[in-house]
Amino acid sequence: MAALKLKEQILEQIPTPVMAVDKDLRLLYMNKSSLELLGKSEADVIGKQCYDVVHSSHCGTKSCCMLKSLETGETCSDRAELPTRNGMTVVEYYAVPLKDEEGNVIGGLEFAVDITAQAQYEERLREQNQTIRLMSTPTIKLWEGVLVLPVVGVIDSMRAQNMMETMLNRIVETYSKVIILDIQGVAAVDTAVANHLIKITKATKLLGCECILSGISPAVAQTIINLGIDMNAIKTKSTLSDALLEALEIIDLEVTQKQR
């Protein structure tokens, strides 16, 4: 009895919310941290179904780690949101099966860690990364039916994928027939970059849009030749102005000099 009392005292002093349920998800125990987090008393919770007390985003769904733990007999962890006296809280929680001496699952133990601040920080990082990606791929509408994407800096696999997604979405949004990919600001092109450009060109054609590659520097042109990369599938122009003239011709527009 003394050992049991000591274990209960330890659980009560742990700052992490802890609860125990039987196989029917009836609450057998909630420590002080759990009760304080939910703003409830022991009399409010003991004997009730845990999902009627906790109300997390996983309660009553197949995502519930406690259900998984009871079914599989293994530890399960995940993230969830739950309403608390402090507002909506994000927790990382762990469900562990409770077993008898013969190894039969008789219930489950669950403890949670409040990671609301971490989740908010991660969300801000995602928003910042999204903003940076949008800034790094500014697809500009030059003319009705003509888009341009100026590329500056290094092109890696992730950026190339983002460029492709941005271009394809803008083509669909604007019903554009031509898109100019200007790489004047790209210092170096290797085999991987060239392959990315070829993939982007093929993807735009599937949407009925012609892709023109402009701004190829002498150094980049020499690198492409030395690498033996076949660029025949890509329509190229040396300058952005040449690419624009080509684009206007494709959409049946002609640029003439105004007579004075």
All domains in the chain, ordered by first residue: 14-118 (3.30.450.20), 137-250 (3.30.750.24)
Q: Is the pLDDT of residue 6 over 60?
A: no
pLDDT digits (tens, 9 = 90+) for 167-185: 899 899 999 999 998 888 8
Q: What is the pLDDT of residue 3?
A: 52
Instruction: Judge if pTM exceeds 0.75.
Output: no
**pLDDT value of position 5:** 62
Q: Is the pLDDT of residue 95 over 90?
A: yes
Nearest to 223 by CA among 201, 242, 197: 197
Could you give the percent of the chain with pLDDT greater than 70?
Answer: 90
52-69 residue pLDDT tens: 999 999 998 999 999 999
Tokens for 95?
A: 């469900």
Average pLDDT over residues 115-143: 76
Average pLDDT of the segment spanning 188-208: 83
Identify the band that residue 130 occupies on the pLDDT scale cut at 50, 70 and 90: low
